[in-house]
Amino acid sequence: MNRHCILTKIVSAVICMLFFSLSVSALEVDKTELESAGGADTVVFINYTGPHSVIDSAAGIRAIGSNMGTVVGRTPASASSAGDRNRYYVVHAVDPSEKGKLDADIMFIGNGATVDHIDNLRRIISAYLSTAYNYSGRDADTLAVFITVYNAVYRGKIDAYRTKYKNVVMSNITAASCGLALRYSEWPGNTQIVIPLFDAAEGGLSTIDTSVISDTKVVKSMQEDDGKNIENRKQMVDIKERESDNATEKARTSQKTATEEQKKLDAEQKQNDEKKQEAAQAQKNADTAATEAAAAQKAAEANPNDAQAQKNAEEKQQAAEQKQQTAEQKQTESEKQQQKTDEQQQKTDEAKQQAADAQAQADKKQTEAQAERTEIAKDQQQVMDASAAEQAAPAVYGMQLIDEKELLSGMVKVNADTGSIIRSSPVTYIRGRTVYSAGSSFIAVAGKNGGNGAVKLILLDPTNMEMTKESSEIVADNSVLVQDGGDFYCVIQDGKNWVLGKYGADLTLKLKSPVAVKSSTPVTISGDKIIVTGNDGKIRLLSKSDLTEK
């Protein structure tokens, strides 16, 4: 009987290793692969995707971002801050006095933060953008993806940030923490996510500088994804095309304003010319009168007894003074008109510049969108070709050892002819190198202890190799997993003790033993009995029907 049992276990293990081995790791490789800023290495986000001790809802996670966005959105043109420095915190770093560089929002992940998956971090960022700047949910989700990739690509590249951002931004980030680390465990207390702002004052579609967060390095890194991240890139193209449309409309409006301002300038310039001519003529008349007054005064001085000469000199002097006064008045009027003309010139120049800037922005976004659409079309064809090749390739499934020390494994789909990996599971932390078929799913012990993580029994979808369900009970991290028909046995926590748990294929806990066992106990099934090692180190014989000690 024992020999038959051992043989059965060996066969089951071989089958699992060759065909069903699923690796559910507490660490998930995010499918957005990132090329490092240096271009030498390809790196990926490492997330925790195993069971959790506390499961936060998507709404609760998004509320973190919404709460911060509400504060910043009240006065987007002014510097502000929001959030909890120990968990999640935003600095809205804007300085209108500095020109030529970008403002930014800086999102800090504090030491007390528990975010452990890139998807949840993106939910926080997306909700923040929606609340602070009125982005639609879809646009905010897309921007959040690009923002995280951008910050991962430029992680620690302080000089790259310095070339683009204002002093108010740089004073809030450091070389050690700027950007986003790839491993979730490095995020708390060591993350400064920089969100470039193009037009924070007006808000809306162009608040975030989409050109910066989708530069060549960012897009290239996104192309490293198996699916080349096509859907997010398409959505970014859509955003840019709408930005272009908005900028084109703004350019039209600004050009209309510029035309009206030019008409006003022409009128002011005409008046200015007239005032200058009047002032020049008045000064010419004053100069002539002054010359005549000087001549009359000279004649009077030569004939001191000539009453008529004295009178004539006095009259000429009065006339000269009056004309000089008129000339000064005309000059003052001319200067005032010149000031009005200069002011109107400035308004006109500003209106023209706004129109030119808006048109340049429209052209820039349209050019970027067209170029990216061309790239997307090429990438789509490559993805389809790769998918067809994958479907045609003979494939087998197996387990890949991820961590020899902890005996953690991951599932891979391998080309049966070449041995090359066709696809890797997004999760890589199955414990004990054991996985079984359970109905339409697979079942395994997975996860990690510490933080918000936990070790539990989980179900895996065989199609996408992701976790679909987790047990309510905590499982010992060194527990075995044993199959007996449609039932599965593992060691679970019961208060301060470890006990044997019996589960159905849907993770329903059917029974748990009244007898405490060692967390690492072997579980041997023999007929209607189960042999385990009790907490006292002694062999215990349990009844399979109710797990009581026989």
**CA distances in angstroms from 64 to 79, 85, 196, 453, listed in the order given:** 20, 13, 20, 20
Strand partners of residue 411: 399
Cβ within 8 Å of residue 230, ≥6 positions away: 376, 379, 380, 383
The reply to whether 22 and 102 lie within a common domain is: no
The reply to whether 482 and 447 lie within a common domain is: yes
The reply to whether 409 and 316 lie within a common domain is: no
Our count of domains for the chain comes to 3
Euclidean distance between CA atoms 449 and 452, whole angstroms: 8
Contact 61, 452 (CB under 8 A): no
Domain boundary among 363, 379, 407: 363
What is the DSSP annotation of 169-237? HHTT--TTTBB--SBGGG-TTSEEEEEEES-TTT-STTSB-HHHHT-HHHHHHHTTSTTTTHHHHHHHH
Looking at residue 393, the DSSP 8-state letter turns out to be S
Euclidean distance between CA atoms 44 and 25, whole angstroms: 15
The reply to whether 78 and 16 lie within a common domain is: no
Cβ within 8 Å of residue 322, ≥6 positions away: 289
Contact 73, 82 (CB under 8 A): no
Domain boundary among 310, 343, 363: 363
The reply to whether 260 and 189 lie within a common domain is: no
pLDDT tens for the chain, 550 residues long, are 333 333 333 333 333 333 333 333 333 333 333 333 334 334 378 887 677 777 778 899 999 999 999 999 999 999 999 999 999 999 999 999 999 999 999 999 999 999 999 999 999 999 999 999 999 999 999 999 999 999 999 999 999 999 999 999 999 999 999 999 999 999 999 999 999 999 888 767 899 999 999 999 999 888 887 778 889 999 999 999 999 888 888 888 888 888 898 998 899 899 989 999 988 998 999 899 889 889 888 988 888 888 888 898 888 899 888 999 998 998 998 989 999 999 999 989 988 888 888 888 888 888 888 888 888 888 888 777 777 776 777 888 778 888 888 888 887 788 888 888 887 777 778 898 888 999 999 899 998 887 778 899 999 888 778 899 999 999 999 999 999 999 999 999 999 999 999 999 999 999 999 999 999 999 999 999 999 999 999 999 999 999 999 7
Euclidean distance between CA atoms 444 and 467, whole angstroms: 10
Whether 485 maps to a domain, the answer reads: yes
Euclidean distance between CA atoms 208 and 405, whole angstroms: 45
The whole domain housing 461 covers 2-26+395-543
Whether 234 maps to a domain, the answer reads: no
**CA distances in angstroms from 104 to 189, 231, 263, 359, 531, listed in the order given:** 20, 26, 38, 24, 63
The reply to whether 19 and 100 lie within a common domain is: no
Contact 286, 329 (CB under 8 A): no
Euclidean distance between CA atoms 346 and 353, whole angstroms: 10
Cβ within 8 Å of residue 209, ≥6 positions away: 102, 196, 197, 198
The reply to whether 198 and 315 lie within a common domain is: no
Whether 50 maps to a domain, the answer reads: no
The reply to whether 147 and 78 lie within a common domain is: yes
Whether 31 maps to a domain, the answer reads: no
Tokens of 439: 């109905």
The reply to whether 338 and 414 lie within a common domain is: no
Euclidean distance between CA atoms 159 and 361, whole angstroms: 26
Nearest residue to 487 via CA among 443, 423, 533, 541 = 443
Whether 373 maps to a domain, the answer reads: no
User: Looking at beta carbons, which pairs linking 36-41 to residues 24 or more positions away fall under 8 Å?
Assistant: 36/153, 37/153, 37/154, 37/155, 37/157, 37/160, 37/217, 39/217
How many CA atoms are closer than 13 Å to the CA of 496, on its beta-carbon side?
A: 0
The reply to whether 359 and 404 lie within a common domain is: no
The reply to whether 204 and 77 lie within a common domain is: yes
The reply to whether 133 and 198 lie within a common domain is: yes
